[in-house]
Chains A and B, each alone.
Chain A
Amino acid sequence: MTDRGERIGEEQTLAGAEEILSVQGVGVRLSGRETLRDVSFAIRPGEFTGLIGSNGAGKTTLFRVILGLQPPSAGRVLIDGRPRSHRNPLIGYVPQKFLLDPDMPLRARDLVGLGIDAHRFGIPRPSRARRALIEQMLEAVGAGDFADARVGLLSGGEQQRVLIAHALIARPKLLLLDEPLANLDLRAGQEVVALLARIAAEHRIAVLISAHEMNPLLPVMDRIVYIAGGRAASGTTAEVVRADVLSELYGSHVDVLNVHGRVLVVAGAGDASDLHGHDAALPGLEIVS
């Protein structure tokens, strides 16, 4: 516990019992390699949290641990104060890179309907209440216009909305989204972010969204969890996105620049060759032409 970021994380796990997600000292070893080490942070209902880190930093691995699909080698995860279980309806999940066969016989509304009870055996019984619930959820995410289209033929942004509805219809308390902005253009990305911020506020659902670029999330993030070098720092953006905190995470000097409301994380002059060599795209860094 010499790391400033980890101290911030620890503070939060002690903060209160109304945490919906509490990650406590989680470490993960994947085929002998330490992917994550002593990761701690907590999320409360209605909070919008960004999980920021470059590609391969361990964001998806951390999600898999939270979902109970990857056992941690150290630490524990509490969901609503209880140890996570393999089947946890409290968590909704939108995976990364969702590529669906265009021939799949599934309308947007069918996929949303599967969100209600796909884990149960048997054939769903059609009912007015069920139809109304699906309709309401499609409208809530702005997917009403393409409710009857084949999911596989929808654009990335449209599929994203349908998947959010699929995840939300089971009324989770925590919504995890793995790189939802990765395959969207700027405008579609902004719309999805605004939608998620609204959902978090209106329904008191905690949203945890991973991204390799923090700028699109800056206006809505209540909290940031920044992963680098297998470790995490968490807090408000003001607490975490600082040269000293991030330099400790990266283990070499980085600068945090504020340019026209955008945050750029850039490698310090002395380590430029080193950082650019293995990690050219630091989270937040925008290549400006």
Chain B
Amino acid sequence: MVSALLGGHPAGALPSPVIEPGFFAAEDVRVAIVVGAIAAIVAGAVGVFTVIRGQSFAGEALGDVNTAGGSAAFLASVAPLLGFVVVGVIAVGAMELIGIQRPRGRDLATGIVLGAALGLAALLLYLVTTVHSTTGATQTILFGSVLTIASSTIAPVAALSVAALALMAMLYRPLLLSSVSTELASARGIRVRLIGAAYLLALAMTVALAAITIGTILSTALLVGPAATALRLTRRPGVAIALAGLLGVAAMWLGILLAYDSFDWPPVGTGWPVSFFVVSLIFIGYLLSGLPGLLQRRARAA
């Protein structure tokens, strides 16, 4: 199959055995490439802080909470991104009120909000499947499909990304020192709690972007995976952010490519979910990034 394609590329297309003809011509693919890359870049910048602040659970919870936002948006016939952002911001506010900033209260507050939101999601998803008699919507909300995003979504995605990145750029220095040591930060007059709350806002925006590409419950993979991988490979915060973005974009684009190719795989004609490929690639990347350290320890032990 692959070898048969080799000679048959139209002029200008990349002569590669994996990039099938028509890949870049499809509108779905072009939208997916743009939206996927934007989401991955923002997730890289925000995800590095999620990992070093130990807030992976908050990131995961905000993703899961978005299931309620996505299904509410579906029922109300508005853009899912809007549902994700609105519900995410409400969830952040609730966590903040319950007391997410106290290290011990943090996971508790997150868990309480998560439980309540998932209860709501259970109702809304039930309504989506029964009232609209569709199961495809549930699949899309939970596991996403970057290949089915409408091109009209690019503009709001870009706007939300610019806002999230601008917020992160503004917070960068005080947030980094707060993440290193709240004691050092507060001695410098940094309002640690306010900075933490503003960061959660950026996190909610980022999770909404990730949820629209790979689904609400998988969004945390794009947030945490490339960031954790990058943190294994560099000891510089700025480089970690850039590297996390690059790794995320690579996983996203390669995933889209494989999903496009998978239309020819069994069961032929349907294709495998793109989110499966993206998340698998992120996971493989994380495992591979551990190899150098492992080999080093082996060499030292020997």
Which A residues contact B (CB, under 8 angstroms)? 67, 69, 86-89, 91, 93, 95, 98, 100-101, 103-107, 110-111, 114, 117-124, 148-151, 163, 166
* B171 CB to nearest chain A CB (Å): 7
Would you list which residues of chain B between 225 and 239 have a CB under 8 Å from chain A?
A: 231-232, 234-237, 239
Q: Which residues of A contact B177 (CB under 8 A)?
A: 114, 118
Q: Which of B172, B181, B189, B236 contacts A119 (CB 8 A)?
A: B189
* A112 CB to nearest chain B CB (Å): 12
Given contacts A105-B52, A114-B177, list 11 more A-B pairs with CB under 8 A. A87-B189, A103-B231, A106-B235, A107-B236, A110-B237, A118-B185, A118-B188, A119-B188, A122-B172, A123-B169, A163-B184
Distance of A127 Cα from B240 Cα, bound (Å): 20
Q: With a 10 A CB-CB cut-off, give which of A110, A111, A114, A120 has the most chain B CB atoms.
A: A114
Q: Which residues of B contact A150 (CB under 8 A)?
A: 235
The reply to whether B235 and A100 form a contact with Cβ atoms under 8 Å apart is: no
Which residue in chain B gives the minimum CB-CB distance to A96?
B183
Q: Which residues of B contact A114 (CB under 8 A)?
A: 173, 176-177, 180
Q: Say whether chain B's binding surface is mostly helix, strand, loop, or mixed.
A: helix
Which residue in chain B gives the minimum CB-CB distance to A121?
B170
Q: Say yes or no: A93-B234 contact (C-beta < 8 A), given A118-B176, A118-B177, A119-B190.
A: no
Asked if B186 CB lies within 8 Å of chain A CBs, one says: yes
Q: Which residues of A contact B237 (CB under 8 A)?
A: 105-106, 110
The reply to whether A88 and B189 form a contact with Cβ atoms under 8 Å apart is: yes
Distance of A45 Cα from B59 Cα, bound (Å): 48
Which residue in chain B gives the minimum CB-CB distance to A104?
B52
Q: Which residues of A contact B52 (CB under 8 A)?
A: 101, 103-105
* A93 CB to nearest chain B CB (Å): 4
Chain B interface residue count, Cβ-Cβ cutoff 8 angstroms: 29
Q: Say yes or no: A100-B181 contact (C-beta < 8 A), given A69-B186, A105-B52.
A: yes
Which B residues contact A (CB, under 8 angstroms)? 48, 52, 169-174, 176-177, 179-181, 183-190, 231-232, 234-237, 239-240
The reply to whether A69 and B184 form a contact with Cβ atoms under 8 Å apart is: no
The reply to whether A69 and B187 form a contact with Cβ atoms under 8 Å apart is: yes
Q: Which residues of B contact A106 (CB under 8 A)?
A: 176, 180, 235-237
The reply to whether B174 and A93 form a contact with Cβ atoms under 8 Å apart is: no
* B293 CB to nearest chain A CB (Å): 11
The reply to whether B231 and A105 form a contact with Cβ atoms under 8 Å apart is: yes
Distance of A114 Cα from B180 Cα, bound (Å): 10
The reply to whether A86 and B189 form a contact with Cβ atoms under 8 Å apart is: yes
Q: Which of B172, B189, B234 contacts A105 (CB 8 A)?
A: B234
Which residue in chain A gives the minimum CB-CB distance to B184?
A95
Q: Which residues of A contact B231 (CB under 8 A)?
A: 103, 105
Q: Which residues of B contact A93 (CB under 8 A)?
A: 184, 187-188
The reply to whether A118 and B173 form a contact with Cβ atoms under 8 Å apart is: yes
